[in-house]
Chain A
Amino acid sequence: MTIGSEDVLACRDLCVSLGGHQILVDIDMQVRRAEAVALLGANGSGKSTLVKALLGLVPISAGTVWLFGEPLSRFTQWQRIGYVPQRGQSSVANATVREIVSTGRLAHRRAFRRLSATDRAVIDESLERVGLSARAKDPIGILSGGQQQRALLARALASQAELLVMDEPLAALDLDTQKSLTELFGTLTSDGLSILVVLHGLGPMAQIIDRCVMLRTGHKVYDGPLEPSDANGTGGHHRAAPGPEPYLPDPGLVRPLDTGEGH
């Protein structure tokens, strides 16, 4: 496998061991420009670890990761990547929502410099896009779980990234908010943004997902379009996992596309 020029993220033979346990085994995958890829799998299948390994947040025991064509160890353009971690990370309870979202601009800023007018405008816009403008001055600690999740999303949007890596970004949100944000993601991908998103269930996100990768106990067991019957229809860049009988996503987990349009 070589890295295509369209690949914003790729990994080959990626292995990760944590505490003596092999968490990920020989993972090959890629995300192309303007593509939305869902990472699916049961609890403990290694989804979050894979996402962290791809961003260099957990040590890799074997294999290679490329970000925007550059090997991970040499990659420095972090402003091109926005990350939404799983909620429940430590956060400073007294910090305002705006201060948390402002940290999304850090990869663009130099040390000892104040926020520029552009930074400020982008932060305001990101807050507005997730519907938190009115709560910008409130301490993050008093917000509901869903609102905190949206603040983390706004932080990633503020980085104006070309690739958004999200770990269950819609988990704490009600259905209507999930739909609104899915529309936002849809707009962003049609503008060229790539998305790699860990999902527990697809929900409204199914509308915008181009491809899904499924993990089971650290192995990639499926890589292809959402609907199995769609595999030949969309042809081209979709690729099923090798092996005589690839595991297909659990039908209960992956709801078939309603309209099948994607992008």
Chain B
Amino acid sequence: MSIFALAFMQRALVAALLSGIMSPAVGTYIVQRRLSLLGDGLGHVAIAGVGLALITGWAPTPVAIVVCVIGAVAIELARQSGRAPADVGLAILFYGGLAAGVLMAGISGKGSGVLSQYLFGSLTTVSASDVIVVAAMTLVIVTLCLGLAPQLFAVCADEEYARSQGLPVRALELCIVVMASVAVAVSMRTVGLLLVSAMMVVPVAAANNLVTGFRRSLTVAMGIGLAVSAVGVIGSFYWNTAPGATIVVSAIVVFMVSTPIGTLLRRRRSLTSEDDPIVRAAGGHVRTEGTTPATDRGSSEQLPDFPISQMERKADER
């Protein structure tokens, strides 16, 4: 295809595909921890990083990563220490980031208009060094998200239980938030800071509609992220639209389609599982002599069986 002969399109596509895999991988944990809007706030903080880069002349992506990680760590440490900033505190941090970014962009002499390419993404601005940074960060984050999946999942599913098993819960929670802030900052070239949060949430929501199980929905979410990023970048070239908006609208279309499909799948699953034999667990190895309650009114013969009656099962599936 002709558009891939263009060097900037190649870079934009690679960067978009990488952040399309990375964002939903982190997003799976963010959504489970009910921090869906954290990415949005971190996007605002990253704008301060962009402003700083405009003033100093440094490369925007690394500066945005550093500023965003500092913001995320500050929020998480405050939360862990019990001095959880109320939403007012968070709002001040986020709007402070946005205002500082716009202010610094103005001071740099480039005007706040230059920020829009970071807010909504821009195909032509992805530099070769950006691609390298995005690739390195994607490698690290995807490795952590998949390799530490059992530990991170345990923390998201039941924090207290994870602690009772000796997991370093605080470090893992910090890890999730830091990964989210990196994902936000490196996605700003393609998806843009105002929409990056959508890529952490929408593919995950669509995957949760389509499949059962944490691990599978993690994989499917990454696949959806990859697909909508490809569609979004190519679409934005032909329609001359902002890539971030195109990617996110594609993701939302997938989500909307996934909703009725998911309902159908669940209905089919529950129909087939109704034919499953009722489990008769506990038989054999649970029973011990001398522990049968003497008060039992003759039903002690059936004790080892769990009374999961057909009725209870059907009621559950409804």
Does B32 interact with chain A (Cβ within 8 Å)?
yes
| Chain A hits for B87, CB < 8 A | none
Does A62 interact with chain B (Cβ within 8 Å)?
no
| Chain A hits for B164, CB < 8 A | 55, 57, 78, 81, 83, 85, 165
Distance in angstroms between the alpha carbons of A182 and B315 in the assembled complex: 26
Question: Would B162 and A106 count as touching, CB distance under 8 A?
Answer: yes
| Chain A hits for B166, CB < 8 A | 76, 78-79, 107
Does B170 interact with chain A (Cβ within 8 Å)?
no
The stretch among A39-47, A172-180, A227-235 that forms the contact with chain B is A172-180
Contacting residues of chain A (149-179) with chain B, CB-CB under 8 angstroms: 155, 159, 165, 174, 176-177, 179
The stretch among A3-11, A93-101, A217-225 that forms the contact with chain B is A93-101
List the A residue with the shortest CB-CB distance to B302: A176
Chain B min CB distance to A140 (Å): 9
Distance in angstroms between the alpha carbons of A130 and B163 in the assembled complex: 24
Question: Would B296 and A137 count as touching, CB distance under 8 A?
Answer: no
Question: Would B158 and A112 count as touching, CB distance under 8 A?
Answer: no
Known: A90-B159, A180-B286, A184-B282. A95 touches B293 (CB 8 A): no
Does B281 interact with chain A (Cβ within 8 Å)?
yes
Question: Would B316 and A144 count as touching, CB distance under 8 A?
Answer: yes
| Chain A hits for B148, CB < 8 A | 111-112
Does A143 interact with chain B (Cβ within 8 Å)?
yes
List the A residue with the shortest CB-CB distance to B156: A92
| Chain A hits for B304, CB < 8 A | 180, 183
Does B290 interact with chain A (Cβ within 8 Å)?
yes
Question: Would A134 and B212 count as touching, CB distance under 8 A?
Answer: no
Known: A94-B213, A131-B281, A134-B278. A258 touches B294 (CB 8 A): yes
Interface bits B217-238 vs A (CB < 8 Å: 1, else 0): 1000000000000000000000
Known: A134-B278, A139-B213. A183 touches B153 (CB 8 A): no
Question: Would A131 and B157 count as touching, CB distance under 8 A?
Answer: no
Chain B min CB distance to A225 (Å): 17
Does A34 interact with chain B (Cβ within 8 Å)?
no
Question: Would A180 and B295 count as touching, CB distance under 8 A?
Answer: no
Question: Would A259 and B294 count as touching, CB distance under 8 A?
Answer: yes
Question: Would B214 and A99 count as touching, CB distance under 8 A?
Answer: yes
Does A71 interact with chain B (Cβ within 8 Å)?
no
Does B132 interact with chain A (Cβ within 8 Å)?
no
List the B residue with the shortest CB-CB distance to A179: B303
Distance in angstroms between the alpha carbons of A128 and B290 in the assembled complex: 23
| Chain A hits for B2, CB < 8 A | none
Interface bits B119-151 vs A (CB < 8 Å: 1, else 0): 000000000000000000000000000011011
| Chain A hits for B292, CB < 8 A | 183
Does B4 interact with chain A (Cβ within 8 Å)?
no
List the A residue with the shortest CB-CB distance to B292: A183
Question: Would B286 and A183 count as touching, CB distance under 8 A?
Answer: yes
The stretch among B47-55, B72-80, B193-201, B305-313 that forms the contact with chain A is B305-313
Question: Would B214 and A92 count as touching, CB distance under 8 A?
Answer: yes
Question: Would A99 and B153 count as touching, CB distance under 8 A?
Answer: yes
| Chain A hits for B151, CB < 8 A | 106, 111
| Chain B hits for A52, CB < 8 A | 160
Does A17 interact with chain B (Cβ within 8 Å)?
no
Contact of A96 among B213, B278, B281, B287 (CB under 8 A): B213
Contact of B286 among A57, A129, A204, A259 (CB under 8 A): A129
Does A2 interact with chain B (Cβ within 8 Å)?
no
Does B81 interact with chain A (Cβ within 8 Å)?
no
Chain A min CB distance to B220 (Å): 11
Chain A min CB distance to B135 (Å): 21
Distance in angstroms between the alpha carbons of A206 and B149 in the assembled complex: 40
Question: Would B303 and A138 count as touching, CB distance under 8 A?
Answer: no
Question: Would B285 and A187 count as touching, CB distance under 8 A?
Answer: yes
Contact of B213 among A99, A142, A174 (CB under 8 A): A99
Contact of B307 among A55, A96, A174, A186 (CB under 8 A): A174
Question: Would B158 and A56 count as touching, CB distance under 8 A?
Answer: no
List the B residue with the shortest CB-CB distance to A105: B150
Question: Would A144 and B312 count as touching, CB distance under 8 A?
Answer: yes
| Chain B hits for A177, CB < 8 A | 306-307
Question: Would A176 and B303 count as touching, CB distance under 8 A?
Answer: yes
Distance in angstroms between the alpha carbons of A176 and B307 in the assembled complex: 7
Closest 7 CB pairs of A and B: A78-B166, A131-B281, A131-B306, A83-B164, A134-B279, A186-B291, A103-B154
Interface residues of B (CB under 8 A from A): 32, 147-148, 150-151, 153-154, 156-167, 208, 212-215, 217, 273, 276-282, 285-288, 290-296, 299, 302-308, 312, 315-317
Q: Knowing that A112-B147, A131-B282 are A-B contacts, what are 11 other residue pairs whose CB atoms are under 8 Å apart, sorted by A's residue number?
A: A94-B212, A94-B217, A95-B153, A99-B215, A103-B150, A103-B165, A132-B281, A134-B278, A180-B304, A182-B291, A183-B292
Interface residues of A (CB under 8 A from B): 52, 55-57, 76, 78-79, 81, 83, 85, 89-92, 94-96, 99-100, 102-104, 106-107, 109, 111-112, 128-135, 137-139, 142-144, 147, 155, 159, 165, 174, 176-177, 179-180, 182-184, 186-187, 190, 204, 207-208, 258-259, 261
> Can you list 17 pairs linking A and B with CB atoms under 8 Å apart?
A52-B160, A55-B163, A56-B163, A76-B166, A79-B166, A83-B164, A89-B160, A90-B159, A95-B214, A96-B213, A99-B153, A134-B277, A165-B164, A180-B304, A183-B282, A186-B288, A258-B293
